Structures are given as C-alpha cells and as structure tokens.
Chains A and B, each alone.
Chain A
C-alpha cells in the first residue's frame, strides 16, 4: 500500500521545487497546537495551489487544513459568511450562488481555501474596483504555536490582522474567517471580448472600462513582429436579470497522467496561441456567459498542471507601477518573446489603487503580467533571473504565491516592510520560501 515512487508527498501547483516534508492533516480547529508534540517547524497549507514554495517546507510539517471544512454561520440578509479556513471557494460558490451571493474576489481558480486566500491576499479580475481578498475579510481567528487564540479584525489585534493578510501563513494558523459575500441576481456574466494588438490598444481599452467590474486580457507572448503583444481584452459584469441560480456541475475532464516534456514546445505553443487568438472571429463580441467559464476556464480540466510534465513549471507574476508601466511591460514582453519559452497562459491586467489591509500584500497600482513557463533546465532559470531583475529596476514587485526563484535581495527590495513583518511571524512557523528569501539577510 505504501507509495513506491519517489514522488514527494506534497507538491505545489507548479510542481517545483520538489521538497521533502511531512503532512499532518487537521480535522478540528482545536487540534493545533497539541501540547508538547508540536514539531519544530510547521506551515499551514490548504489546497496547495500556490505555484512555488510558499506552501512548502523542506524537512518540516505541513498542517493540512482541508479537514477544516465547516460553515459556521451565514447571514442571508447581509451575505456575511463565517467558515473554517479549509473551506474552498468552490464550496462557498456551491453553497452561496443558489442563495444569490457571490465571492467578493475571484482568482483564476476556485479550488483554493479561504485560509490560503487570506495568507496570499489574492486578487482577481475586479482588483481595480474591489481590491484584494483581504479587504473583504472582516475578521478571523489566529492560533499561535504557544496556544494563544486571538480574533483579529480592523478593531482588535490590528497589527496581527494586518500581518496575517498576505502573511504567507507565517503568523499562525487561521482556524476560521468571516468573508463578506456580494449579491448577484443571476449566474450569468455580460461578457465583452475585444481583440487588440499592442500594449497601447490594451491600455486604451483598460482606461475605457474603469466602470466594468471584471477586466483582464489574454496576451500572446510568443508572436513577434507584426503580431507582437496582440491579445484579447475580456471584460464583464454580473447580469442583472433575475434568474434561478442552479448549482454548478462537477468537472468531467481530467488530465490523467504527466505529459512527456516534448509536448509543449515552441511550435505547439505557437499553434495554440494562434488558435486562441483566432477563436474569436470578430474583433468585438458581446454575449451572456456562465460565471464558471468566465472566471475559472481552467478548472474544467482537473490536474491541468500535468501537461507540463514531471519537471513542472514556473509562474512569473509581476506588477509594474504606472510610472514605468507601459514601457516596463513592453520590455518584459519583449524579453519573454525573444527567449521563445513562453506558454499559453499569459494574462495582463490593470491593478487599481484600493489599499489592502495586508502588510505584505502583493497588489499595487499599475499593470500586472502573469505567465507560465515550463521548466527547461538551462534556459528557464536564467530568463527568470533576468525578469526578476527587470522587475526590480522598474520599481515593481513579484508575487510570492507564484514564485519559486526570486533571490533574497530581490525579495527584500520588493517588500522593504519585511523586517516589520518578521516580528509578527510565529517562531514555529516558516516555509521554504521564507527560508530562501531571508537566509542571507
């Protein structure tokens, strides 16, 4: 019955780095800390959908919160939900959508836990109007390794509240949290897709849609020359036509095994990007779509990360402030296109200026670019080094939840507040990411 393969027991979504750690599942909020049996180094982990190593701990114990999946209270009049931290956004949607409520902030996947959403202070297509997830979490309970339990909110334990939002799970275990949902009339989204070529067209589309709740753009990072930086601008609002709101169906597709490394190559990527760009025939389309394909197109295929093969992939997400935004993003896109490594999931979005309560929160006003790149030893890592350095020179920052490669000095210049944050870190809590970026400080 024991696993024969040497696969690590727990992998992050990018499947890199491979780290040796133990997993201890939690089923009840009173199970941590268990007196003297506390292992020396722990890290809470939810669904493991972070791409790099913020959810890994070499040689330590991961406290898996998947068993903390209970709803504790819901006010149907105000939309305030209280639930344990292992509840996933998918479970919230399944519960709340039929009652006419929706997530305040939706990332690109619904298979993440509430605890993870707070710890990484995630953002979504509505960042320019709603801010990050942490702005919609009025309070939560934090348990420290010394057994202290504290309810944190904007009024109580404010410093801990601020350090825990975006705190990468390092300040303690979140046992339950309140999430303020938003009302909807229908499952449908009034979708609008516009093809663009070049960053300037993207920026003018963005400034023209400040009033639209959800905006983002898919961008072709492979084509050069005439087609450089072409893409599809996607935006949408919740439909206001009142409709019955049914429960979503389970996904039917799954990637059953790891693809061999050669499947994703420059040619197949180019073909994919070409097809994706041409999928939308007209320059401008508007239609009503269900929220599932609009927000979570990739969730319809389980284990899609297996297409990158065993070696896994890296995600790069930076935000570049407005001052250098346009030219900075262009320079980064040019570097990526020249390297010829980019894959099909490149996303461009304008971030707004809603401040997050989180001390270490990633979003800042500007333009954010996210892309996946398969790991080819020898070429991928140098490219990432260059991209991180460019981000630093442009005054931007990288997103720890998606990172596996940034260096200590880079991290500390992206997040100069890290020393202040370190004071709130629980001494027993750490992660491979934290060790990597603070070891040489």
Chain B
C-alpha cells in the first residue's frame, strides 16, 4: 500500500505547536485558560505579571497540569526600557521561542481619565506603548529565525471610539494599526501576527459590569485563540459574532454616531 504523502502545510502546526511560549500578563483570565489548553501537551512557559504570589499560583497550576517547565518573573511591564533584557532572558531560559501572547492590559477609569489626563496617559502606556515595545522586539527576533507567532489581546473597543471607553479603545485602536503594520513587514519572513479582538468576556476585568447574553467564557475565547494560532489567522474576532456587530457599528455614519449613547 502506498502511503499518501502530503506537503507540510497549515495542518501540521496542529498539535504540539506552540511549545516554547512567553506570556506577558500571565495572570489575565484569558491567558490562564489559554495556557491550560497547552500545558497538558507539555509546553514550556515563561510568565510575566506584576503580582508575584498570583504568578506563582498560575505557574503551579500549569506545572500540575503537565507543562514541561514554567519560569515566572514578577515585574511591571509599563517601563519599556526593561523589555529587551527581559525577552532575551526568556529566550535563553526556554532555549528558543516560537510563540508570544501579549495579554496584559487595564480597562482604566474612563470618567476619571477625562478629567485627569495623566490617568489616560497611564492607560495608553500600558495598553499601547508597552505592548508595541514588546511586539517590536519579538517581531525582529521571529523575523530573524523565520518563524514564530505573536498573538496580542486587543479588543473590539478599538474598532470605533465611543464615549463610554474611548481612552481604552484608542489605545487598542493604535495597537491594531501597529500590528497591521508589523504583520505587513514580517509576514514575508514566515511570522504570524495575530490580533485578537474579544468582545465581552467574563473575567475579573469585567466583573463589575452586569453580565448579559453577549458575555463569553474565557474558555471559549481561549479555544478560539489557539485555533486561530494553529490556522495562522491574522485577525480574530471572538466570539465570532463580534465581527458582524463591529461591522455594523463601523458602518454607522459619523453624523449619526456622534449623537448615539454607546
């Protein structure tokens, strides 16, 4: 019997990819559930988050669930000067890198930020500047080795500025444009840049909001992200219906939109 031969392609990235992973903002609910999908496959992780005790419980969880090795570093990612050394350290410990998930972010306080710009600037720093700095280093690293995946948690809030959260939304909008540009630069080197745009997800970030039918579980979102990474998608709306909701919201003419309460 002849064995059917197939050119290596998308499907071959299915299992056991990614296996050397850095997660920035590892205590985020979506990041945690995403890592739990990969831990039983024996992946290795380098985790970064601010709170050392919480980071340790996340690391213990992943090791117990079967992760090969888990390194954890407690630090604040707002100052960008420390990023290159941090990422280089991660690569050295993991012995390479094939995927990075950027999941740190803050929702910020919109109404306080409207009065005090320093609060708005801090929100932009965390959600945009810090993420952009990390993406820059990672894109260069992956482009040089001709493979790798950068997955970044953005938000549907970046699709159009709304009065209820335009500070957060504009940071994510800037991030979306930044990622589009980086993708355009490094795609030819075989690097995947995935912009993840979740809608409402039931996480600590949204625990204060009333939970409606549009809320998705972190688990559903994490599964979508892993599927998108393995099928080399560029932009992921998750859950899927947000693509259509946001398409409609973007279509509303500005003269009408500016008078709406959103």
Which A residues fall within an 8 A CB radius of B? 1-3, 25, 27-30, 67, 70-74, 84, 95
Contact = CB atoms under 8 A, between A and B. Distances in A.
B23 interface: no
Contact of B61 (A1, A25, A72): A72
Q: Which 5 A-B pairs have the closest CB atoms?
A: A70-B61, A1-B212, A71-B64, A2-B210, A72-B60
Given A67-B204, A71-B65, A3 B60 contact: no
B106 interface: no
Contact of B60 (A1, A25, A71, A95): A71
A97 to B, nearest CB: 13
Contacts of B57: 28-29, 70, 72, 84
Interface of B: 29, 51, 53-54, 57-58, 60-61, 64-65, 204, 207, 209-210, 212, 214
B60 A27 contact: no
Given A70-B61, A72-B60, A95-B65, A30 B54 contact: yes
A74 B207 contact: no
Given A1-B210, A27-B204, A30-B51, 6 more contacts: A25-B204, A27-B29, A27-B207, A28-B57, A30-B54, A67-B204
Nearest to B63: A73
Contacts of B29: 27, 67
A3 B210 contact: yes
Nearest to B33: A69
A71 B51 CA distance: 18
Contacts of B64: 71-74
A43 B51 CA distance: 26
A29 B214 CA distance: 28
A95 B66 CA distance: 10
The SS class assigned to the A binding surface is loop
A73 B58 CA distance: 11
A135 B214 CA distance: 42
A70 B58 contact: yes
* Chain B contact residues, majority secondary structure: helix
Contacts of A84: 57
A28 B214 CA distance: 25
Centre residue among A2, A28, A70 by max chain B CB count within 10 A: A70
A72 B64 CA distance: 6
A70 B36 CA distance: 10
Most buried by B among A2, A28, A29: A28
Given A70-B60, A71-B61, A73-B64, A1 B214 contact: yes
A232 B78 CA distance: 65
Given A30-B54, A84-B57, A25 B210 contact: no
Contacts of B60: 70-73
Contacts of B58: 70
Contacts of A30: 51, 53-54
A67 B219 CA distance: 12
Contacts of A70: 57-58, 60-61
A2 B210 CA distance: 6
B200 to A, nearest CB: 9
21 contacts: A1-B209, A1-B210, A1-B212, A2-B210, A2-B212, A3-B212, A25-B204, A27-B204, A28-B54, A29-B57, A30-B51, A30-B53, A67-B29, A71-B60, A71-B61, A71-B65, A72-B57, A72-B61, A72-B64, A74-B64, A84-B57
Contacts of A67: 29, 204
A24 to B, nearest CB: 8
B174 to A, nearest CB: 27
Contacts of A73: 60, 64
A179 B185 CA distance: 52
A3 B211 CA distance: 8
Contacts of B54: 28, 30
A281 B214 CA distance: 48
B30 to A, nearest CB: 12
Contacts of B61: 70-72
B240 to A, nearest CB: 19
Nearest to B207: A25
Contacts of B51: 28, 30
